[in-house]
Structure 1
């Protein structure tokens, strides 16, 4: 029963967050950052392949227990082959957990004094396809090897080349598995040392001792120890002592383009489908080269009446990213089975969620491919054998991906397939959302007063909150099979006992919950969701317009107050005006309901519809309907956007009626009045929202007829711009109807010869209402225009087909 509900730095993990969209830490939460040029080995365990096995060490020919040391990011830990194991077992295999587009592989051996490099080795890669049909072994290809016999070089970098036909400028290769295989070993002849040093070595590090015979020609020939001992001093050659080879692999690094944005899209709420919508489209984004999404890209020139030629692949990434390239791995494996090659044409489009006038997503084309006859392939070059395609473009904010493609008419038919569709970019996610579970505010309903938060918001970033409130919670039961798939209750009941998994109960908002409030953009903002209420859900959104910057949200709290009344019901009459633009008298009626501990209220605040300005006419209070004139109550100064009235006395239990009568002109088609009652002064003041009860409304409708502009009134016409302070400007006053939000007004002045002499386009925060524009008789260069008649065109810039948005008036300038 405290005065706040708080969320601290360590509490964000309990909120509902789309998988992989934020970084949680001791300081708070910030958007996830998409990385460029990463070592894919380090996060391999975060990815699980189609077999359900996380990435990491897949196998080792020997000493499997220490194999993970080769992928831990440390150069002071090692994988060392067992020296007693057969040399053919000196290999290690890494599973990256997903298909990657890598540019180079780096192999690092133990630093000097801590071990030796492999005398010779090779690097193999695989995309996971079997070595041959029905084989459980996977097919590897050599990606690099060390040259000669090496005992000194400890870091090797292998630049990768495409293993399949690719764009001419395609750099790197696509694979999931890496093998490091030793191909030669010095064994007992690792490094030559002195006899003294050899004798000081531990027994297990002592290597070979080699004896030599000196031929009469001076040539040295290796012999055994007994032979050497029998030689005369002149024939006895040198004795060489060796430290045993300590082959120690410190690190295997696979440097890729960066984080593949496509991975994890479905788990964070994304979707993929398209024209065919076969359900297999997801195979193009599963990180597994062994799976393929196949699609028809060519049909016969006969019997194709029902074919959809223009098709699309649609992909919701689940959240917003900064994207700069799309890499496609087309299917090469099935060429021999009737498949033709890559798609013959496609256009890659991205959308950030903005909508066209018809409600569809607005896309921007980012890359286009069109087959030319010079490209090799089936059907006279229509289907290119370019299986790795890299489509790069300027960094673009997007969540929705669309690939348009057209089916061609060919002599027979043609199929193609996409093994993997990868998206890359960089920077902090431009928008992420966190949502709380229903928060209980207390055993009794409470007023949600204001929302506060602590955050670091670098330039270009922003933190916003919004809320929902209610008094009822419902329970939802979810049923799962033993494989973890959610099913309906009816299907769950039909399952055998061993097929049934868990059933879980979740708490969800009930029927009385409000919709989401508008966003709160500044800490300390008053909460606009209905209250008093028992429960609230809070949503936080972190936004960024700069990929290099991300906001850090540390903590937040909601300030609570005790209710002034258990509920206040409001209604505005009349609900509809007879004619727009006419002054009308309205009555706002309030009916409070009190409980014993409610304090009551002594003020009413009405936030008026855009453009409306009203005059208070009367206040009625109490069961006796005591009437007060405007001079008997205090109207607090607030500007023209609201009406704030201090009542003569507090309204408490037993005085359950308040009415405000006021007159004014409404300019919108639907005019909402936001009403609150209050008690107290200054920082101690408490506000409680007024709700519209059943069958009541706090909205007034106006007739939606006539143009957007009303009659233009011209004052000081003619005017005399001579600087004497009298009639120096002409003023044009006009009402604007049915236009929401900020707009640019227009004033253009023309001479009778048709030449424009002045243009102005000031932006007003609220277009609806009475607007005023003035002209001082000067042109765009600030020069006074000659006396005479001028045409003044006034209005506003809006996209309203068929509506009159400007009106022209004739004015006279004399001096």
Structure 2
């Protein structure tokens, strides 16, 4: 028996000694073969990689950094980046929506340049001295500022009013209900006029508290705000040379809820009630509503933001127009009792998202001194990494179905600092095509040049293979994805389109372990013709982020396509000492010599 154990040990020691032989020994490269380098260091190259939309900033030198989100800023400067649908279905971008006169110069009031201005036509009647701005999306606004020129031929408006609208239509056409934000009570000569906004609906503001009962350190407690998409400025008195230079519309931050679907995220009501994605589209004309009947599952939705953000504010909002006009009669669309939970993406042992409840369902905190539920709820907490958000509507216990209904026209999620973590994955890198001979390569090492401020990190991993294949996806006519078997058995009238993409072949490896530092030897199988690289860029604090200047892969020609090991004999008699041989068989391509 001892001899048998000894022979087993000798066998495994022999095999292990062969397995740790370096690649360059097994695939003996041709003499004088030089290491070549595939390098990514240009914006056009990085943009071919896959990453959640809007989560990276690209430098002029070809670097990339997790995107940074602005806090309080002028939302009028980027209105053109947002689009929405009109009543007839046509899509339009934000901008100057309408003007009573001199439309050609109207865009100047949101160009960021206070030396340019719009002047209403002096010959037009007073009722044509007005202008409207479309912010492109419904967003929270804290303040509206009007800046006037004061020079020869261009003087401030003396008397005027400023109106705002959440953008919900009051008819089937693009007609909106406006409310007064502010205006003059006497003729003025000031060149800067500012109006603060308060919500038209009753707001409940909840700040997360620690276990000691004190407010969460770092939670924002700033000014009030209201939901606004359209701003109208109406001149009340004609004066000579009247002109308006700039309209600045300040918002507390960037609402990253708007890009959820583009980033690959999802929003789903757990029981399929209502269209939850409509509460994150920046459009006050669409909404999510759900009602729990007796015996049904609780109303709840789960939201995947598409990547990890530093979040410090979440706002629930219903429609001020619906509340003011009593469209719903006695069943007003207030925001009723619910809980709010978040997760950074960690999973439980069963694979479910591991949520932490930030705010419990507390009717008293929503009702406060009122007998009426609020139309706007703001949740404030110290910045934390968030990938998933969940809310669940809770019965008040009085048996009323109204207390178990949910309704929101918008949920706004505000990020602070840089994206907390983002995955960036290359396309299939064809080293054979890059080298021009379409052959496999011995891949030497992976390297990168990067800046890593305190708290920032870079993780990299790879996979490799020798073949690509076309992968098909099948759909029903309603857009539901199905398997090939389901598609083949489906009547032709129900079949939708099929889509195909180029994907990894069956010989590809799994993703490697993470590289710990730049310059490490390649961890995936080699030689191979194709490889993919995945970078994970992140930081443990919102104010810092890594910057990658370049990424490179070193490779050389392979003398052989690969090798295959063979142990002889295949069988051994227990207790009998046996001599084993290990034979390495080359796997040549037709052009291997």
In which range does the TM-score fall when normalised by the shorter chain?
0.7 to 0.9
Is residue 260–residue 305 contact of structure 2 (8 Å, CA) maintained in 1?
A: yes
Q: Residue 362 of structure 1 is aligned with which of 354, 358, 370?
A: 354
**2:177 counterpart residue number:** 139
Q: For 1:181, what is the secondary structure of its paired residue?
A: strand
Is residue 428–residue 549 contact of structure 1 (8 Å, CA) maintained in 2?
A: yes
Counterpart-to-counterpart distance in 1, 2:104 and 2:569: 81
Is residue 344–residue 370 contact of structure 1 (8 Å, CA) maintained in 2?
A: no
Q: Which runs of 5+ in 1 are unaligned?
A: 187-244, 576-584, 600-652, 654-815
| Distance apart, 1:536 and its partner CA | 1.1
The 1:374/1:362 distance shift into structure 2, 3 A limit, reads closer
Query: Cα deviation per residue 1:258-310 (whole Å; 9 max; x = unaligned)?
Result: 0002111111010111322235011111111121111226x5xxxx3x2224x
Counterpart-to-counterpart distance in 2, 1:387 and 1:354: 32
After superposition, residues 482-521 of structure 1 pair within 5 angstroms as: 506-521=501-516
Counterpart-to-counterpart distance in 2, 1:158 and 1:481: 52
Matched, 1:436 2:407: no
**1:534 counterpart residue number:** 529
**1:115 counterpart residue number:** 154
TM-score normalised per structure 2: 0.79
Is residue 296–residue 407 contact of structure 1 (8 Å, CA) maintained in 2?
A: no
Matched, 1:7 2:44: no
Counterpart-to-counterpart distance in 1, 2:440 and 2:202: 67
Q: Residue 128 of structure 2 is aligned with which of 89, 111, 126?
A: 89
| Distance apart, 1:146 and its partner CA | 2.3
Structure having greater relative contact order (Cα 8 Å, sep ≥ 6):
2
**1:345 counterpart residue number:** 337
The 1:254/1:354 distance shift into structure 2, 3 A limit, reads same
- Higher helix proportion, which one? 2
Query: Cα deviation per residue 1:648-672 (whole Å; 9 max; x = unaligned)?
Result: xxxxx9xxxxxxxxxxxxxxxxxxx
Structure with higher Rg: it is 1
Q: For 1:323, what is the secondary structure of its paired residue?
A: strand
| Distance apart, 1:9 and its partner CA | 2.5
Is residue 138–residue 166 contact of structure 2 (8 Å, CA) maintained in 1?
A: yes
Is residue 93–residue 177 contact of structure 1 (8 Å, CA) maintained in 2?
A: yes
Is residue 572–residue 586 contact of structure 1 (8 Å, CA) maintained in 2?
A: no
Matched, 1:371 2:366: no
| Distance apart, 1:385 and its partner CA | 2.7
Query: Cα deviation per residue 1:333-360 (whole Å; 9 max; x = unaligned)?
Result: 1653453443432221111111223332
Counterpart-to-counterpart distance in 1, 2:377 and 2:136: 22
Q: Residue 302 of structure 2 is aligned with which of 287, 310, 314?
A: 314
Counterpart-to-counterpart distance in 2, 1:147 and 1:479: 64
The 1:288/1:374 distance shift into structure 2, 3 A limit, reads closer
**2:235 counterpart residue number:** 182
The 1:513/1:83 distance shift into structure 2, 3 A limit, reads same
Worse overlay, 155-164 or 363-372: 363-372
| Distance apart, 1:546 and its partner CA | 1.8
Q: For 2:423, what is the secondary structure of its paired residue?
A: strand
| Distance apart, 1:476 and its partner CA | 4.3
The 1:250/1:481 distance shift into structure 2, 3 A limit, reads farther
Is residue 95–residue 135 contact of structure 2 (8 Å, CA) maintained in 1?
A: yes
| Distance apart, 1:25 and its partner CA | 2.5
Counterpart-to-counterpart distance in 2, 1:43 and 1:373: 36
Query: Cα deviation per residue 1:399-443 (whole Å; 9 max; x = unaligned)?
Result: 011113323454553134111111113100111122121111111
| Distance apart, 1:135 and its partner CA | 5.2
TM-score normalised per structure 1: 0.58
The 1:338/1:593 distance shift into structure 2, 3 A limit, reads farther
Q: Which runs of 5+ in 2 are unaligned?
A: 1-33, 206-220, 433-437, 571-577
The 1:463/1:573 distance shift into structure 2, 3 A limit, reads farther
| Distance apart, 1:375 and its partner CA | 3.4
- Higher strand proportion, which one? 1
Is residue 566–residue 585 contact of structure 2 (8 Å, CA) maintained in 1?
A: no
Is residue 567–residue 583 contact of structure 2 (8 Å, CA) maintained in 1?
A: no
| Distance apart, 1:12 and its partner CA | 0.9
Question: What is the number of residues matched between the two proteins?
Answer: 517
Counterpart-to-counterpart distance in 1, 2:554 and 2:355: 42
Counterpart-to-counterpart distance in 1, 2:564 and 2:558: 14
Q: Residue 41 of structure 1 is aligned with which of 76, 81, 89?
A: 76
Is residue 367–residue 392 contact of structure 1 (8 Å, CA) maintained in 2?
A: no
Is residue 440–residue 527 contact of structure 2 (8 Å, CA) maintained in 1?
A: yes
The 1:347/1:33 distance shift into structure 2, 3 A limit, reads same
| Distance apart, 1:112 and its partner CA | 3.8
Counterpart-to-counterpart distance in 2, 1:463 and 1:122: 52
RMSD over aligned CA atoms reads 3.6
Matched, 1:287 2:282: yes
